[in-house]
Amino acid sequence: MSKRAWWKEAVAYQIYPKSFYDSNGDGVGDLPGIIAKLDVLKTLGVDVLWLTPVYASPEVDNGYDISDYQAINPRFGTMTDFEHLLAEAHRRGLKVIMDLVVNHTSDQHPWFVESRQSRDNPYRDYYIWRDGKEGREPNNWGGHFTQSAWSFDAATGQYYLHIFSPQQPDLNWENPVVRQEVRRIIEWWLDKGIDGFRLDAINLIAKAPGLPDNRGEGRYIFSIEHFCNQPRFHDYMQELNRAVFARHDMLTVGECADLKVEDAIAVSAPERGELNMAFLFEHTDYYNMVGKDAQKLKEILTRWQQGLHGRGWAGIAFNNHDQPRVVSCFGDDSHYRVESAKLFATLLLTLEGTPFLFQGEEIGMTNAVYATIEEYNDVQTVNLYREWVAAGEDPQAAFEAVRATSRDRGRSPYHWSAAPNAGFTTGRPWIGVNPNYIDINLEANLADPDSIFHYYRKMIALRKATPALIYGEFIPQEAPTQLYVYQRVHADQRYQIVLNLSDETVEYVCAGRRLIGNYPETEKQRLQPYEAGVFALE
């Protein structure tokens, strides 16, 4: 069993503030709005709130483009509001972690504004500037949000690197002064009393020495192997850990793309002194981009559960602000929405790893779909659409394609009630509210003892009261393909989790005493579509 820690026993809840609750009618969620809703989060039973960025930002990428790390975006409120939120959360026993976005800054950050002025100024080396090669970009790396990861800056005649949008220039972590600035920002927030960080895109901070071309085919190639999980990434984490993290009782979770089990161990094994945990994405990437095969999902999750046990630690989520809602893309949000939402609650809260809920999942919110490109806000969606249309693609075909992967699917405003705009705002929401809020909302969930919300609440309570569900060994069981059956075993406690990942009725005899389940009762011989249950084996 891994050593006990509060951040392993905690259940976290991700707030996307812009879409959470708008207290002043400007159409945008805000910090006083979060304060107003803390009690219901406490009722749900979560212990840690992760706020996606609320810092000063031109909001090209909804706050993941920071122009001042020590200021609050006025759209969200003031620093006093933030301090108030922190105090109110702490008073209720809720911890607060912030998003630390230090792979890049906004192009409006004073460092970049200075950096681009001339080739020789103290801020030039804060970013990654290079000469072009034969009239083209310095190398053929493709970006996340643009075809090329480089933009030319005419003022000084060089290109700068941006893995994300051109308004998000990458910081140069090779420069020790940059690393010192990052430490200073982290300490400043810790001094304010926050309880940790989610480190954005953190395993992209170290680029391959010499920034080599990708040898694959094509003009621009998304070159993850040249800027992801580089050895220097681990050096930088160890340096930060020695200087700051190890001196605080805090939670650190890395958003790490393209991880293999060994990479996740490297970043989270306690003896390596880097981060507490890394988020896992292989399963979300699978159902987001590849398919809906139960066997494959089981294979991915089982490999991670067995690989990390006793060696590292993970943050587990099935939804976040970059992903579609799992109930819509792996569950069934038309016929079995309630059942499949509860099934994913059961899965999330019975795996090893710190569970992270994403706002709205606890009431069964579904993917948002908008009718025109103008209704989309996601920089990735909008940039790709523009690039494809400029390259001659049919606009409707381009729209269908970007809509199918848009990150706005999970970013629509929270459904508080059946009041206009789901009770999210009295103004005009910054992005469309999903019209199904009339049926799917918190008020209705609270009033119904069998709701998804109350199921999450009970599942969270069960996890917290059951060490085996937190620390126990994960032992997969033989079962028909549609079913995912595993045990969590710790000391003399043994629990069996049974999940029907399909919309079929499947023959199966469940052993043990049912502690919780998403149907009124589990029948002796068979499981209903998307049925889920936790059984104690005595």
The catalytic residue positions are 200, 255
CB atoms within 10 A of CB 58: 15
d(Cα 163, Cα 301) in Å, to the nearest integer? 28
Close Cβ partners of 3 (under 8 Å, ≥ 6 residues apart):
270
d(Cα 178, Cα 26) in Å, to the nearest integer? 36
CB of 64 to ligand GLC, least distance (A): 3
Close Cβ partners of 252 (under 8 Å, ≥ 6 residues apart):
196, 197, 199, 245, 275, 276, 277
Nearest to 31 by CA among 47, 13, 10, 52: 52
In the structure encoding, which two tokens stand for residue 78, read together? 């003031």
Point out which residues pair with 178 in neighbouring strands.
Answer: none
CA distances from residue 422 to 102, 365, 444 in whole angstroms, order as listed:
34, 12, 12
Q: What is the DSSP string of 153-196?
A: ETTTTEEEE-SS-TTSPBB-TTSHHHHHHHHHHHHHHHHHT--E
Q: Characterize the bridge pairing of strands 55-56 and 68-72.
A: antiparallel
**Counting every residue, how long is the chain?**
538
Nearest to 410 by CA among 529, 317, 493, 473: 317
DSSP 127: B
Name residue, tokens 């003399």.
492
In the structure encoding, which two tokens stand for residue 488, read together? 């969590």
Taking the least distance from each CB to ligand GLC, the nearer of 320 and 482 is: 320
What phi and psi, each to the nearest 5 degrees, are found at residue 9? -85, -15
Chain contacts with ligand GLC (rule: CB under 6 A):
61, 64, 101, 164, 200-201, 255, 321-322
Where do the H-state alpha helices sit in 448-515?
452-465, 467-471
Per the CB < 8 A criterion, the answer to whether 303 and 342 are in contact is no
Tell me how far the alpha carbon of residue 238 is from its chain's centroid. 23
d(Cα 41, Cα 456) in Å, to the nearest integer? 11
